[in-house]
Amino acid sequence: MSIQNWAWSDRLSLKHEMMDETHQEFVALCSALSLSEEHSPFLDRLDALIEHSIAHFEQENTWMDDFAFPPAGCHKGEHDAVLQVMQEVRRRYAGGERDLGQSLAEELPLWFEHHVDTMDNMLAQFLISNQLALAEHEKASPQLA
Ligand SMILES: [Fe+2]
Ligand SMILES: [Fe+2]
């Protein structure tokens, strides 16, 4: 996989509409890290990705809490760890370690694809089956809907 043409594809879809929309945004902001400085300052693009990631992870963390998702601790731990890496790269890049920008741009797509295949995939399946069960329950007990 070349980071130059890393983009959203159906291969990343988890069939959960809100999650897929958020993930499309992550992919767009993440691949923008590979643009040149002439396009826009790297730190502006990294800040946009960090801002997105805080909201993206918070949304998933809230779903995990709301639906008592069993492996929530492990999943939240991956969110916290990657966010810390992004913030550390931001700090060091601002301090002059420019090579780290390119490394982050190359590593994040690999991290994300693995995270989607494992953690987010499990969460999406869990949410879909819980939402189906809830819809079935509301159909059977319309007065509760
Ligand atoms: Fe996600
Ligand atoms: Fe996640």
From CA 107, how far away is CA 79, in angstroms rounded?
A: 15
Residue with the two structure tokens 């819809």: 135
The residues near 85 (Cβ < 8 Å, ≥ 6 apart) are: 104
- Please identify every residue whose CB atom is under 5 Å from ligand 1, which is an ion: 120
User: What distance in angstroms lies between residue 101's CA and the mean position of ligand 2's atoms?
Assistant: 22
User: What distance in angstroms lies between residue 47's CA and the mean position of ligand 2's atoms?
Assistant: 19
Contact between 64 and 76 under an 8 Å Cβ cutoff? The reply is yes
Q: What is the pLDDT of residue 143?
A: 62
Q: Which residues does the chain have with pLDDT short of 50? A: 145
User: What distance in angstroms lies between residue 144's CA and the mean position of ligand 1's atoms?
Assistant: 31
pLDDT tens digits for 25-54? 999 999 999 999 999 999 999 999 999 999
How many residues are given for the chain?
145
For the chain, what are the domain ranges?
A: 98-131
User: What distance in angstroms lies between residue 79's CA and the mean position of ligand 2's atoms?
Assistant: 6
Q: What is the pLDDT of residue 91?
A: 98
Q: What is the pLDDT of residue 145?
A: 47
User: What distance in angstroms lies between residue 74's CA and the mean position of ligand 1's atoms?
Assistant: 13
